[in-house]
Amino acid sequence: MPRYTKGPPPSQQQSPTVPSAVQFRVTLGDMPLQDAYSVISPETSSDETLGTLLSRVFTLHLSTRMDEGIMSGSPLDPDSLAMHAELAKMIYDSYAARCSLRFFVNHGPEIDATDLVVPHFRQVGADADSWQLDVVVEQRFTPFEYAISRGDWSSEPELMDWLEDSTALLLADAESPNISEVTARRLVEQGLFEPQTPQGPRDITDAGRAKRNELESEAESYVEQYGLFEDVLYDDEAQVADFGTGMGQDLRPLVYEAESLDPVRITFLLSMLGSADDALDTQDPQRFFTALLTPAVDRPYLDNADVEQIIETGLALVELDAESKQRDIARRQAVSHARRQTPPQGDQAHS
């Protein structure tokens, strides 16, 4: 049973030879066919796989500019250009383990990137020279796989244990933190939670509060240093970055990665900062944390040189702001010191 049956079923006639050109039509999930991305892919060979076809059609170029040469010179409308950029980014992200992709032939089976595409070509209408490959793509974000592929964590269980332990510490004073028994036992063994009495509350120890303060201070340091990059409007042609316009993109995950930091850890800490009323979904922690960490992997694409330019500009502004604050503090301290050194007017009159 096909997973997707968009539009009328195609002709079951298969091409006896490799066509000289094939229409490659792509939709995402439940996207209707009228919004599909469609392109003529020339020079398809008999050993063409879905993976090689995707690599040819959806090459991610610098600053997400696409090469229209593979489009047979046909100009594309803005919606098609945007769709091309989005599909190219999805494929690029899948190579970096930020997401996984599944491919289905519309009115047909699921296919793998290593599968040959020729058997899935179908004739369009009555035209013997018109052939189509109609594919539906599903995307799933994979922050756990991404963190492990980067080497920030050695395994998924290690990362999951840290997430659950840290969540329990950060939500320890919430009314219903919903901490699992396994997590509570780990925290007791680490001396971060008191052993629980029958029907008694879970109490955090002094060591646990100190650990929680460390996590909160770490999160606040990221806000102070990198919060500026939450709203960046970047002109890649002029290489000019504007911050805090309300119309920019959140580039923090790209900045963390460029600064050799752990995007998944930081995204978690910032998501939990000030979320004392939230509760961990102990029934499905994998789903809970995947949703919480998705911003670490669902992020824009920018060329490395552009990211470096933005970081240089942004950190310079952060430094200027810090210097301005230090000058303001020094001025206030000087005024306060001068006031303490100046005797009251009444005292001056008696002298």
E-only strand ranges, 76-167: 99-105, 110-111, 122-123, 131-141
Q: Residue type at 332?
A: R
Are 299 and 253 a contacting pair, CB within 8 Å?
yes
Tokens 């752990």 appear where? Answer: 262
* Cα-to-chain-centroid distance, residue 304: 16
Give the pLDDT of residue 319. 87
E-only strand ranges, 265-327: none
Token pair in block for residue 146: 């991404």
Spell out the long-range contacts of 123-131 with Cβ–Cβ below 8 A and sequence spacing 24 or more: 123/10, 123/11, 123/13, 123/14, 123/15, 124/10, 124/11, 124/23, 125/11, 129/19, 130/23, 131/15, 131/19, 131/21, 131/22, 131/23
* Residue ranges per structural domain of the chain: 21-141, 146-310
Stated length of the chain: 351
Are 97 and 30 a contacting pair, CB within 8 Å?
no
Task: Report pLDDT digits (tens) over 56-76.
Answer: 888 754 334 444 444 444 556
Give the pLDDT of residue 232. 96
Give the span between the Cα atoms of 164 and 281, in whole angstroms. 10
Give the span between the Cα atoms of 233 and 235, in whole angstroms. 7
Residues of the chain with pLDDT below 70 are 12-16, 42, 60-76, 126-128, 175-177, 197-201, 274-282, 322-351
Of 267, 291, 276, 282, whose CA–CA distance to 164 is shortest?
Answer: 282
Give the pLDDT of residue 265. 98
SS3 of residue 65 by DSSP: coil
